[in-house]
Amino acid sequence: MASPPGHRRARVSQVALLLALCCCCCGVRGSPPASPSPKVPAVIVFGDSTVDTGNNNVIGTILKSNFPPYGRDMDGGGRATGRFCNGRLPPDFISEALGLPPLVPAYLDPAYGIQDFARGVCFASAGTGLDNATAGVLSVIPVWKEVEYFKEYQRRLRRHVGRARAKRIVSDALYIVSIGTNDFLENYFLFVTGRFAQFTVGEFEDFLVAQAEWFLAEIHRLGARRVTFAGLSPIGCLPLERTLNTLRGGCVEEYNQVARDYNVKVLDMLRRLRASRPGLKVAYVNVYENMLDLINNPSTLGLENVEEGCCATGKLEMSYLCNDASPMTCEDAGRYFFWDSFHPTEKVNQFFAKETLDLCYKELL
């Protein structure tokens, strides 16, 4: 997220100082200023590694990132939390911007309790997808199980704050959903689940969109009212896919076309869903255009490398292959779009969070 110009920062500081002096002169010395009320009571997150804040740490999967250099730039001091990034993810930045805690806790993290989850909770699991078969590839949490955790969370919330307040938290919360990439890159195009033999790519897109519609209808039935739903990014431009495309070079256009086709179908589905469920507001996050604009114009964010990840060689490494023993990891992740061969850096996540937040203020809040 871009910082305000220096003269504006100076101006804000001067105003703050004048207000502080006025407060002292008016006899309220020692009274801290009142914190602004949060814009929403909670941020609630579903999806995959783009938004998983640590649930995979405690399940039986090899897809983890709770070790260095993941989290290298977290809180300035470095702390591997299970986020697939050198720092924070978009839901973290969105939560903080809305007046809530700067980190959205993972629901399965034993370090947190219902008092924390009442202000924000993440059910996402790295490696999962809309297709239940996708979750089975690496033994992660399927999306139906994320919904079951949401039900359990509500029961715990009712016991913690009472039925009426729990209902308000659930209905007034902002929901962030980011899922779908793994269904293609980990499932369909790798031929590991048999979906390739069952469906044409267009039929598989239809199947996934139907699953997304079921999911959104289900969380609406359970109380969700304000939801952001992310479309697919240009998945053929991820460093891993570029590497596997060395014979032709560059992004895999076939995969990008699939992402565009899928996104069109998602938009059609969201229009139907809004019409059939008037109480549901769903904002579509155009990740494809946001990401492609940044890849094509990296200087707008001060990026120098948009083709490789910062970690190790940046061409293939992710999860355990991205480790602290690699001598090739870059020193400044802020110059890179990607942290590993699949996931953005904290700097890019902050940019995506701002784009999403602007959309939320326009359509949901």
Of 260, 268, 259, 291, nearest to 182 by C-alpha is: 259
**pLDDT tens-digit map of 72-104:** 999 877 899 999 999 999 999 999 999 999 999
Question: Confidence class of residue 249 from pLDDT cuts 50, 70 and 90?
Answer: confident
- Per-residue pLDDT, averaged over 164-177, amounts to 98
pLDDT for 5: 39
Identify whether 31 is part of a domain.
no
Q: Angle between the 253-276 and 287-296 helix axes, to the nearest 10 degrees? A: 140
Q: What is the CATH number of the domain that holds 224?
A: 3.40.50
Identify whether 244 is part of a domain.
no
pLDDT at position 4, please?
41
**Residue 304, domain member (yes or no):** no
Confidence category of residue 25, pLDDT binned at 50, 70, 90: very low
Position 75 scores a pLDDT of: 85
Pick 20 or 137 by higher pLDDT: 137
Q: What is the pLDDT of residue 93?
A: 98
Residue 23: pLDDT band (50, 70, 90) is very low
Q: What is the DSSP string of 267-300?
A: HHHHHHHHHH-TT-EEEEE-HHHHHHHHHH-GGG
Which amino acid is residue 305, in one-letter code?
N
Q: What percent of the chain has pLDDT over 90?
A: 86
pLDDT at residue 31 greater than cutoff 60: no
Residue, of 24 and 186, whose pLDDT is higher: 186
Question: What is the per-residue pLDDT for 248?
Answer: 79
Looking at the domain assignment, is residue 20 inside a domain? Answer: no
Of the listed ranges 49-63, 137-151, 174-188, 241-255, the least confidently predicted one is 241-255
pLDDT of 7 strictly over 80: no
Whether 157 shows a pLDDT value over 80: the answer reads yes
Query: pLDDT (tens digit, 9 = 90+) per residue, 279-299?
Result: 999 999 999 999 999 999 999
Closest listed residue to residue 174, CA positions, set 99, 227, 222: 227
The pLDDT value recorded for residue 36 is 63
Catalytic residue numbers read 49, 340, 343
**Cα–Cα dist 289/287, whole Å:** 6
- pLDDT > 50? residue 155: yes
Backbone angles phi, psi at 187, to 5 degrees: -120, -80
Predicted pLDDT of residue 334: 97
Average pLDDT over the chain, rounded to whole? 91
3-state helix, strand, coil in the chain (%, to 5): 50, 10, 40
pTM for the whole thing? 0.89
With H, G, I as helix, E, B as strand and everything else as coil, classify residue 174: strand
Band (pLDDT 50/70/90 cuts) for residue 8 is very low
Q: Once rounded to an integer, what is the mean pLDDT over residues 113-132?
A: 98
pLDDT of residue 76: 72
Count of domains for the chain:
1
Identify the residue with better confidence: 25 or 153.
153
**Does any domain span residue 49?**
yes
Report whether 261 contacts 202 (CB < 8 A): yes
Domain span including residue 149: 38-234+253-287+346-363
Give residue 247's pLDDT. 75
Most confident of the ranges 5-9, 14-18, 227-231, 320-324: 227-231
Q: With respect to residue 212, please indicate whether it lies within any of the assigned structural domains.
A: yes
Q: Count of CB atoms within 10 A of residue 129's CB?
A: 28
* The pLDDT of residue 15: 32
In a domain, 26, yes or no: no
Quick one: pLDDT band at residue 30, thresholds 50, 70, 90? very low
Angle at 69 between CA 322 and CA 183, to 5 degrees: 45
What mean pLDDT is predicted for residues 239-260?
92
Cis link prior to 32 (omega < 30° from 0)?
no
Q: Is residue 226 part of a domain?
A: yes
Task: Give the SS3 label for residue 124.
Answer: coil
